[in-house]
Amino acid sequence: MNQIRKELVLLILLVLISGCSSVKNTSIQSSKDTIEVNKDTLSKFERYSQKGEALFKILPVPVLAYSTESGTIFGLAKYNLLNLVKSDTISHDSKFDALVSYATKGQYKGVISGDMFFNENKLNVTAGVRYIKFPSFIFGVGNTISEDNIESVITESFEFDIGVLRSINQKKTLYAGALVQFKNYTAIDTEPDSFITRTNYPGVDGGVSSGLGLGIIYDTRDFRFNAKNGFYLKTNFFLFNKAFGSDYKYNSFELDIRKYFNPWLEHVIALQVYTQANSGNVPFYSLALLGGDQRMRGYYKGALRDKVIGDAQIEYRLPIWSIFGATAFASAGRVSADYKSFDFNNLRYGAGIGLRVLLDKKNRGNLRFDFGYGAGDAQTFSIGFTEAF
């Protein structure tokens, strides 16, 4: 994709090791008692990594990026895994993410999300709020669109979603519950000869997509954010209808299956199969999107879009030294108008490598750097917290 935006992301890691002299916690917990560790028994690097991990749990991380469409992007990102109820020692730690950014050409992002567990893992609550005014790339709709038809669309939107799921088995591995999703696109700024405008595609004038859904999760992973063993399945079904305040009437189905193997030592093989299907009057911004920093890495998210998507990926994760690790991944997928026309011809392929830095030893939480490559000149570089899947 010769004209795809070239984004340079610089994550300033100095905050993770600055001010180290103020951190004095040099104890580690065993399963039975607390053992004080003499600083002299730790290497200089181990002392720095301990203090860096402590600072990471407190300080936000500055983010600096550049895009030809948006200019220079300044922001702060925060990530935490923590126990919300101290008296509840059984529940998983809850995950929180936040990002605030500003671009010199007038674009903004504000994102807050949480994945929380309560009552000894009996209750799982997810929530997210997003305000975004930012450009995205659209090549058209379908799997055989031409890369020469790239166009930039600036959308302004407010979105939120809530999920409340309760465990329905004794092992607390199976959850089911209700979901709510709301998107309000208040402004759509397209190019004069935009595909969306020419075809009067649903969503060209913005509007509200509001729906209710049912979600099911089955999860046997040993670590939720960086599994070595186990199985994960998530499926949900949404109805978007005027009765729920939506301007568009359509249905959406999603299925995400993951499996993890630990063949030896700390090496991990991770597999994922994903599909999404929409039917009805689906606005262009709610279509199934191929690419991004979690699936089909190497392709800009939304480079390919249609009502149906199917993709799969495999990742090999291995330790390098101390808190550092590496990954290699490969993926394949495509979009189509419906399942009837979905086949394995014209698949898109991606591959890449990644670097991992362990920043939360308790939950095996990594800082993630991924370099992905797709067909032609497609390539992406992404930074994130926890594994892609």
Q: pLDDT tens for residues 333-356?
A: 999 999 999 998 889 999 999 999
Residues comprising the chain, all counted = 389
Q: What angle do CA 368, 371, 373 make, to 5 degrees?
A: 145
Domain residue limits at 147 = 8-385
User: Tens digit of pLDDT for each residue in 146-172?
Assistant: 777 788 889 999 999 999 999 999 999
CATH of the domain at 154: 2.40.160.50
Distance separating alpha carbons of residues 201 and 189, to the nearest angstrom: 14
The predicted model gives 347-371 an average pLDDT of 91
In a domain, 1, yes or no: no
User: Tens digit of pLDDT for each residue in 237-285?
Assistant: 999 999 999 999 999 999 999 999 999 999 999 999 999 999 999 999 9
| Predicted TM-score (pTM) of this structure | 0.85
Residue 27: per-residue pLDDT? 34
Q: What angle do CA 226, 232, 236 make, to 5 degrees?
A: 125
Residue 21: per-residue pLDDT? 30
In a domain, 145, yes or no: yes
Q: What angle do CA 152, 139, 374 make, to 5 degrees?
A: 105
The predicted model gives 28-43 an average pLDDT of 48
Distance separating alpha carbons of residues 340 and 342, to the nearest angstrom: 6
In a domain, 3, yes or no: no
Domain tally, the chain: 1
Q: For tokens 């469409």, what's the residue?
A: 69
User: Tens digit of pLDDT for each residue in 180-231?
Assistant: 999 999 999 988 888 888 889 999 999 999 999 999 999 999 999 899 999 9
Question: At residue 33, does pLDDT exceed 80?
Answer: no
Question: At residue 105, does pLDDT exceed 90?
Answer: no
Residue 53 dihedral angles phi and psi, to the nearest 5°: -65, -40
Question: At residue 77, does pLDDT exceed 70?
Answer: yes
Residue 68: per-residue pLDDT? 64
Residue 67: per-residue pLDDT? 64
Residue 113: per-residue pLDDT? 96
Query: 262 vs 37, 186, 224, 258, CA distance in Å?
Result: 31, 47, 15, 14
* 131 closest CA partner among 182, 191, 176: 182
Distance separating alpha carbons of residues 137 and 69, to the nearest angstrom: 10
Instruction: Return the structure tokens found at 312.
Output: 């799969």
In a domain, 31, yes or no: yes
Strand, helix or coil for residue 125: strand
Instruction: Return the structure tokens found at 384.
Output: 């994130």
Q: What percent of the chain has pLDDT over 90?
A: 57
User: Do residues 136 and 155 make contact, with C-beta atoms less than 8 angstroms apart?
Assistant: yes
Question: By CB neighbour count within 10 A (0-12 exposed, 13-18 middle, 19+ buried), where does 70 fall?
Answer: buried
Residue 192: per-residue pLDDT? 80
Helix-strand-coil percent breakdown of the chain, rounded to 5?
A: 10, 55, 35
Residue 327: per-residue pLDDT? 98
pLDDT tier, 40 (very low <50, low <70, confident <90, very high otherwise): low
Strand, helix or coil for residue 53: helix
Question: At residue 55, does pLDDT exceed 80?
Answer: no
Question: At residue 37, does pLDDT exceed 80?
Answer: no
Name the least confident of 10-24, 96-110, 120-134, 282-296. Answer: 10-24
The predicted model gives 22-41 an average pLDDT of 41
Residue 69: per-residue pLDDT? 65
